[in-house]
Amino acid sequence: MNIVMALETQPQHITIDRTAGLMVVTWRDGHHSEYALTWLRAHCPCATCREERREAVLAADPLRLTPTPAPSSEVVDAEFVGHYAIRFTWGDGHIAGIFPFSALRASCSCAECNPEGPPPLVSD
């Protein structure tokens, strides 16, 4: 089997600037993408987070308060998952989310890629 990966979904460099709260990806086609860590955490693609987001949408009662703190958007560690994705270890220990590069590239926050703003990383 011959898997051909497009250059635009292969990272050349990934820098996680924890002070700025940003992940900066330089893709192999030369494009730069920036992702706020808070945005990445808010779009965590794992099944648990997707389910929580679905429930939050269903329970859209304006009187409902959410006493639970926002999930940590502090990245403790990051590792590649094969050649296709990156996984973060968040400050609260959450490690379930695997972020495919193709989805990250599609959600690039620059005006050239997504003039209307980045689409959700995964559809819930």
- Contact positions vs Zn ion (CB under 5 A): 44, 46, 49, 96-97, 108, 110, 113
> Which one, 11 or 62, has the nearer CB to Zn ion?
11
Shortest Cβ 46–Zn ion spacing (Å): 3
Q: List, as one string, the DSSP characters of 12-28.
A: EEEEEETTTTEEEEEET
> Which one, 2 or 68, has the nearer CB to Zn ion?
68
> Which one, 1 or 57, has the nearer CB to Zn ion?
57
Shortest Cβ 114–Zn ion spacing (Å): 7
Choose among 114, 103, 110: nearest CA to 22. 110
Burial 16-46 (b: 16+ CB within 10 A, else e): beeeebbbebebeeebebebebebbbebbbb
Shortest Cβ 96–Zn ion spacing (Å): 5
Q: List, as one string, the DSSP characters of 46-57.
A: SHHHHHHHHHHH
> Which one, 84 or 109, has the nearer CB to Zn ion?
109
Shortest Cβ 42–Zn ion spacing (Å): 10
Q: Which amino acid is at 124?
A: D
